[in-house]
Structure 1
Amino acid sequence: MADCVFCAIIAGDSPADVVLDEPDHLAFLDRRPVFKGHVLLVPRTHVVTLPDLPADLRDGFFEATQRLATAVVEGLGAQGSFVAMNNVVSQSVPHLHCHVVPRTKGDGLRGFFWPRTKYDDGEAVEYAGRLRRALGGDRL
């Protein structure tokens, strides 16, 4: 899809700090993270919402979500994670994406209010590398 920012990232036309690159999906750091290490997982096929996700992509998508939830704990030292996706309402990019956000007790996240932060110079590359290593390698 020509005007989809996630399709542009998948095509390599827009930069991203990639943490997982597999045949059916791609995961990269959110540019405006709730907390540093906040990852977005997207299917490579342009799919707008979860109900649109083809059955043959579903299990792999959620298996990758599980691995990312583990990686934010093992790679970043988080105590847990927040995993979420929006369908149409509050969906800022009309391409299915799953948020995997590292969590620590007392981090200040309450309900569905998502404060945003920014990476300092070089931090995004460092966080992406830590997550790739926790996922089993730094092959990118």
Structure 2
Amino acid sequence: MAELRRLPATTSTSTGECVFCAIGTGQAPAAFVHEDDDFVAIVDLRPVTTGHLLVLPRAHHADLASLPSAAGERMFAIAQQLAAALRRTDLKCEGINLFLADGKAAGQEIPHVHLHVIPRFAGDGFVLDADWRVRSREELVEVAAKVRAAL
């Protein structure tokens, strides 16, 4: 059964360069499905399901906070196009998850922001397990106030 946690990834090349930067510049191999001046999309080397893709900015941004908002918009637009394309293939795809791990505690293994586009189907074994219980209205209001204050 696939889980969110995976084996440690290779985060850098033999020269110490970020592996996703090396892919973006053509210095490391990858199976490309999209390329433009600012982004590439590749087939994940260790897919959750067949067709699992990664959308990567060519420029190095370690995390979501360092990614300019216009680039974030573009990254999600590319992911949306790829999700539609996956549904048009003969790959098993009954649904799509978009997943972005931001920071080590969230499961980000390579410190270069990237968006996963994961084809999903019944019985694929991929699970996100958490404490999904309903929270009190008071707790929700308190959390909302803290986030609004930080904006």
Q: Is TM > 0.5 for Structure 1 vs Structure 2?
A: yes
In the alignment, which residue of structure 2 is the partner of 1:109?
126
Moved over 6 A (4+): none
User: What TM-score results when the alignment is normalised by the length of structure 1?
Assistant: 0.74
In the alignment, which residue of structure 2 is the partner of 1:124?
none
- The two structures, once aligned, show a CA RMSD in angstroms of 1.6
User: What TM-score results when the alignment is normalised by the length of structure 2?
Assistant: 0.69
Q: CA deviation at 1:77?
A: 4.4
Q: Aligned to 1:46, what secondary structure does the other structure show?
A: coil
May I ask how many residue pairs the two structures share in their alignment? 112
1:55 corresponds to which of 53, 63, 69:
69
Q: CA deviation at 1:111?
A: 1.4
Give distance in 1, aligned partners of 2:70 and 2:98. 21
Q: Which consecutive unaligned segments of at least 5 residues does structure 1 have?
A: 113-140
Bigger Rg over Cα:
2
Q: Aligned to 1:86, what secondary structure does the other structure show?
A: coil
Q: Aligned to 1:110, what secondary structure does the other structure show?
A: coil
Give distance in 1, aligned partners of 2:111 and 2:60. 9
Give distance in 1, aligned partners of 2:110 and 2:86. 23
Q: Which structure is richer in relative contact order (CA contacts within 8 A, separation 6 or more)?
A: 1
1:82 corresponds to which of 84, 97, 108:
97
Q: Which consecutive unaligned segments of at least 5 residues does structure 2 have?
A: 1-11, 130-151
Identity %: 38
